[in-house]
A = this chain, B = another copy of it.
Amino acid sequence: MVSEGMDMTSFYTAAPLCSPSRAAMLSGRLPIRNGLYSDNAFGRNAYTPQDIVGGIASSEILLQELLRKGGYHTKLIGKWHLGHRAPYHPLKRGFNEWYGAPNVHFQYDGTTAPNIPVYKDQNMIGRFYEGIAINLTTGISEYTQHLGEEALEYISRRGRTGKPFFLYWNPDSTHAPSYASARFRGRSQRGTAYGDALIEVDDIVGKMLDLLVNHKLENDTLVVLTSDNGAALVSKREAGTNAPFLCGKQTTFEGGFRTPAFFWWPNKIPAGNASSQVGTQMDLFATFLDLAGLPMPRDRVYDSISLKPALMNGDLDLEKVVFFYRGNGLFAVRKGRFKMHLWTWRTPQEELKRGIDYCPNIHMDGIVSATQVNHTAEPILFDVDNDPEERYPIRPGNSPTIYETAVGYLKKVVEKHQQDLVPGKPALNYCDPAVENWAPPGCEDLDDCLPIPASKVVICDWPH
C-alpha cells in the first residue's frame, strides 16, 4: 500500500485503546466530547466489555450515518465495540449490513458469563468458541477468513452496482488472544499466532486491493489502513512492537497513540510517498465527507479536519493540535514538533505486580511511573519530530528559550481547549452482569439463549 500510496508517519489515534478510539474516529470528536469514556476515577481507560451498560450516544452523528444519507451503501465487517445492547446495534447506527461481533473475543465459560455472539445483520448466528470455533490451544480459527470472504463478496456485489459504498473492515484479529486460520498458522518466522494473524490480515487486505483493481474501482476508492492504538506490549510476543516509540497501548506516550496510516488511491494519491502531516483518526471523518462532497454538521464542535490537501497535493498544515487523553484526563498535547505532558502514567503498581506492564523495560524517573504524576506546574516537553522516542526531555534548565516558548503556546492551546470544552455524559461508568450477551436477538432460532441473571448495576472498575 505504501509503494502505491501514502504513508502518514505522524498519525495518531484519539485514545490509546479500542472503544474510545473507534468512537472518536466514527464521530469525528474526542471521547471526552462524544461520551465514550468514564469519570469514575481520574485518567482511567475504559472500554466496552460485555457487562458495560452504555455505548455510543444517540446524539452523536456517526460517519456511516452521514455517508449513507449521502447515497453510500454501508457495511461493518468485524468488531463494533461501541456498545452491544439493542440501542447501540450497528444497524441502528448507520450501517446497512453487519457481519461480526459486538465485543472482543475473550473466552468465557458460558455459565458465569456468556461467550460473545457473532451477528449477521440483526441477529446472532453463533458464539465464539462454540459455533464460531477458536481453538486457543492450537491458536487456530477460521474467523478472519470469514471476515475476509464477507469483504470480498461485499466489494464485488456493491462494486457491480456502480454506486458508492463504505466498508468498515474491522477484523478482531490481531487482538489477543491470537489466532490464525489453519492455512496461515505456522507461517510467520516469529512462530506465534500473532505473527501468523498479521500475515493473514495482510493477505486479505492484498486480496481486497486486487479485487478493487479487477473491478476497475481503484481510481474511485480510497482505502485506509490503520490501527486503533499502539502495540499492546502487555501481550508480549503475542503483540507487535512500537519501536522507536515509547511504551504502548493504554499510555499517552507515542507508543500508545501513534499508529501506522496508509492511504491508497491510485492516480489520486501520489504513489510511494510519506507525509509528515500530523493527523488523527478523527480527521478521517472530515476527510471522507470532504471527498464524498458532503457537508460537516454545523451544530457541534469537531476535532476533525480534512486531510485531502495533504493526501492529494502534499500540502502540509503542521500546526494541527493532537490531544492525548487517558480516560477523562488530558495527559498531553502536541502542536507542531513539540509535545507537552501534563500528566504521565505507566501502569498501576497492583497491575505491575500481576505482570501487566505497558512500558516493559523502560525506566524514566517521574515520567514512566506506577503512580499518576502531575506535571502541570512544570510540564515535560519533547520534540517528537526529532525525538519520537520521547527520550530527551527539553528542560527549562537546558533549553530555557525553547522550553518557555513551546510550553507557553502549548499551555494556551490547552487553556482554550478546556475553556471551550463541554464534556459529553460519560457512557462507561456503569456495569451490570444482566446486560451481558446472554440472549442476543436470534438466540431463540439457534436455541442459544442463556438465562439472564438479576440486574446489579455497579460502578465499573477501570484500574488503568
Residues of chain A touching chain B, judged by Cβ–Cβ distance below 8 Å, are: 189-191, 195, 236-237, 241, 243-244, 360-364, 368, 385-387, 389, 391-392
A352 CB, nearest partner CB in chain B, Å? 12
A241 and B190 within 8 A (CB): no
Q: How far is the CB of A4 from chain B (nearest CB, A)?
A: 16
Q: Given the known A-B contacts A190-B386, A385-B189, A386-B189, are A241 and B244 also in contact in the complex, defined by CB atoms under 8 Å?
A: yes
Among B241, B385, B386, the residue within 8 A (CB) of A389 is B241
Query: Which residue on chain B has the smallest CB distance to residue A386?
Result: B190
Main secondary structure of the interface of A (DSSP, over half): loop
Please tell me if the beta carbons of A361 and B362 are within 8 angstroms of each other in the complex. yes
Chain A to chain B: the 7 pairs with minimum beta-carbon distance, closest first: A243-B244, A363-B363, A190-B386, A243-B243, A361-B364, A237-B392, A361-B362
* Copies of this chain, whole number: 2
Min CB gap A384→B, angstroms: 12
Residue of B whose beta carbon sits closest to that of A243? B244
A387–B239 alpha-carbon span in the complex (Å): 12
Taken together as a complex, chains A and B put the C-alpha atoms of A451 and B392 apart, in Å, by 43
Q: Inside 8 A of A361's CB, which chain B residues have their CB?
A: 362-364, 368, 391
A362 CA to B392 CA, complexed, in Å: 13
- Asked if residues B236 and A360 are in contact (CB atoms below 8 Å), the reply is no
A101 CB to closest chain B CB (Å) equals: 30
Contacts of A387 in B (CB 8 A): 237
Whether B243 and A389, one on each chain, are in contact in the complex, defined by CB atoms closer than 8 angstroms, is yes
Q: Chain B contacts of A195 at CB under 8 A?
A: 386
A189 to B391, CA, bound (A): 17
Q: How far is the CA of A190 from the CA of B190 in the complex (A)?
A: 35
Q: Which residue of B lies closest to A390 (CB)?
A: B361
Q: CB distance A362 to B362 under 8 Å?
A: yes
Bound Cα distance from A363 to B368, whole angstroms: 11
Cβ contacts under 8 Å, A391 to chain B: 360-361
Cα-based distance from A368 to B361 in the complex (angstroms): 10
A373–chain B nearest beta-carbon distance, Å: 16
C-alpha spacing A368/B362, complex, angstroms: 11
A189 to B385, alpha carbons, bound, how many Å? Answer: 8
- In the complex with contacts A190-B386, A244-B241, A392-B236, A362-B360 CB distance below 8 A: no
Among candidates B191, B243, B362, residue contacting A386 with C-beta atoms closer than 8 Å: B191
Contacts of A362 in B (CB 8 A): 361-363
Complex Cα–Cα for A384 and B189 (A): 11
Closest chain-B Cβ to A303's Cβ sits at a distance in Å of 27
Beyond A241-B389, A361-B364, 19 extra complex contacts between A and B, CB < 8 Å: A189-B386, A190-B386, A191-B386, A195-B386, A236-B392, A237-B386, A237-B387, A237-B392, A241-B244, A243-B243, A243-B389, A244-B244, A360-B391, A361-B362, A361-B363, A361-B368, A361-B391, A362-B363, A363-B363
Q: How far is the CA of A191 from the CA of B368 in the complex (A)?
A: 27
Q: Name the residue of chain B whose CB is nearest to the CB of A191.
A: B386
The distance from the CB of A43 to the nearest CB of chain B, in whole angstroms, is 22
- Interchain Cβ contacts under 8 Å between A and B, 24 examples: A189-B385, A189-B386, A190-B386, A191-B386, A195-B386, A236-B392, A237-B386, A237-B387, A237-B392, A241-B244, A241-B389, A243-B243, A243-B244, A243-B389, A244-B244, A360-B391, A361-B362, A361-B363, A361-B364, A361-B368, A361-B391, A362-B362, A362-B363, A363-B363
Q: Which residues of B sit under 8 angstroms from A189, Cβ to Cβ?
A: 385-386
Bound form: Cα–Cα A70–B360 in Å:
53
What chain B residues lie within 8 Å of A191 (beta carbons)? 386
Q: Report how far A29 CA is from B454 CA in the complex, Å.
A: 75
A391 to B387, CA, bound (A): 21
In chain B, what residue has the closest Cβ to A276? B189
Bound: A195/B243 CA distance, A: 20
